[in-house]
Amino acid sequence: MKYLIFTYGCQMNYSDTERMQTYLEALGFKQAKAEKDADMIIFNTCSIRQKGEQRVIGKMIDMIKLRKKNKNLIVVITGCMVRKSSSRYSETRDKLFNRTKEIDIALRIEELPKLADLIKELNPKIKLPKIEEETLEDYFNITPNYTSKSQAFIPISTGCDKFCTYCIVPFSRGREKSRPMADILEECEEFVKQGGLEITLLGQTVDSYGLSTFDKQEGTFKHLPKGKTPFVSLLEQIDKLYSKGLRRLRFTSSHPKDISDDLIKAIGKLKTLMPYIHLPVQAGHNDTLKRMNRPYTCEKFLTIIKKLRKTVPGIAISTDFIVGFSGETEEEFQATYDLFKKEEFDFAYFAQYSERKGTFASKNLKDDVPKKVKRERWHLINELLKTIVAKKLEKFVGKTLDVLVEFEEKGLLHGHSEHSKEVQFKGKKSLIGQIVTVKILKADKWVLEGEKI
Ligand code: SAM
Ligand code: SF4
Ligand code: F3S
């Protein structure tokens, strides 16, 4: 039996896909090279914007064609579009079964170990091996099949308690829960033992690690020293892996409400922590932030940026903005534009607001910015992004940077610098997975070009 996974959305989904691969291989599945060779096709979905969901539903046309050639094809949808693990024969099924006839299984990713039972519900004749009880308790117990030997994305928490009014994540991923520190450390240690150089810790709001309502009720983090956030304690423990070979530690995303002074100090102090942070602001006007239920002001956000820049000179900062959110006036958009222009972030992800069913905004705030205006605002700010990125990259020309080489494409090696800038240069494929020194010769739109020294 062969499987193929299509992954959409954020790093969290890519990381889940790696765990899914290990699980499927333990069940005896092998990876297919193309759709036509697969007996099971899995869509690991994102529901942050409507377009992403439509893309997956659109792909179902291909499934009709594939099924004509392979009657036993199993189509699975998992990830953020799924609310209830079920098969087409289950008594109560996920609502997705009403949107398309082509799916056989809907799977909540945290219930990954249920996949074997759902496959059997579909076809009782399929024989699958039994998997250890302990692994079945929590899908994080499954050791992932990392795509890269040198870089790993390791989840430290799931879900979100923030309930920003526009966002589907608290509904799709559930309430915020942190993984036990010992489990995360074990995963990090094992990865470094195998030669891993860079770890990126993942969570919707990493800085609230260990502080969610669920974590407090469970009391899992009670033993930690007072005066230090659990996240900083975790970073300090992982940083010790420097002596075993870890060279780079990153995390994403931070939240302006939770980012603490001890975290800012840690970024300046810990050996492995890289001089880069992703800190989504979402809007540059306090009225918009209020409607979004982002519990901070622009002034508070700017104070954090100031502290970060003072503590870690030259730190690279990226952010997220939404344009065209419900009720966004011309003045509010201008304030967002001005904030981005003044602060010159290293990078920013801009999204045009997409109303998501079930969120507070969809029930209470009118999606009243016309599509055309959303598009225009997005283009305006994207033009600004291009100029700022070019200016930021230009500053690296003539400098030498340490680059972790990730892949080769069209004769060029690609990797990222400590500040998370993409760098490309000529070199042998054998350098993939190593940190090399590169002299920067040129800045080209989004990428730095250089030569290995
Ligand atoms: N937890 C992170 C934070 O606090 O900002 C972000 C996680 S979210 C998965 C990634 C980004 O998607 C958000 O920062 C936001 O800009 C964007 N996003 C979320 N909901 C959206 C919506 N309904 N329409 C457009 N963009 C959205
Ligand atoms: Fe969504 Fe807000 Fe949670 Fe980020 S903090 S995942 S934007 S609800
Ligand atoms: Fe999308 Fe889910 Fe990530 S909605 S952005 S894949 S947490």
Domains annotated for the chain, with CATH where assigned, are 2-136 (3.40.50.12160), 139-394 (3.80.30.20), 400-452 (2.40.50.140)
Peptide bond into 254 cis (omega under 30): no
Residue of 80, 82, 177 to mutate, ligand 3, most atoms within 8 A of C-beta: 80
Half-sphere exposure at residue 123, Cβ-oriented, CA atoms within 13 angstroms? 14
Please write the tens of the pLDDT for every residue from 199-252.
999 999 999 999 999 999 988 888 887 778 999 999 999 999 999 999 999 999
pLDDT category, 133, cuts 50, 70, 90?
A: low
Residue 130: predicted pLDDT:
80
This prediction's pTM: 0.96
CA of 322 to the centre of ligand 1 (A): 8
The residue written with tokens 């490309």 in the block is 424
Of the bound ligands, which one is closest to the alpha carbon of residue 172? 3
Which residues, in sequence order, are bridge partners of residue 152? 199
CB count within 10 Å of CB 436 equals 17
Among 108-112, 369-373, 448-452, the range scoring the smallest mean pLDDT is 108-112
Residue of 13, 49, 162 to mutate, ligand 2, most atoms within 8 A of C-beta: 162
CB 161 within 8 A of CB 176: yes
pLDDT category, 315, cuts 50, 70, 90?
A: very high
Measured distance CA(184)–CA(160) in Å, rounded: 19
Q: Is 256 helix (H, G, I), strand (E, B) or coil?
A: coil
Residue with CA nearest ligand 2 atom 1: 167
Please write the tens of the pLDDT for every residue from 38-47.
999 999 999 9
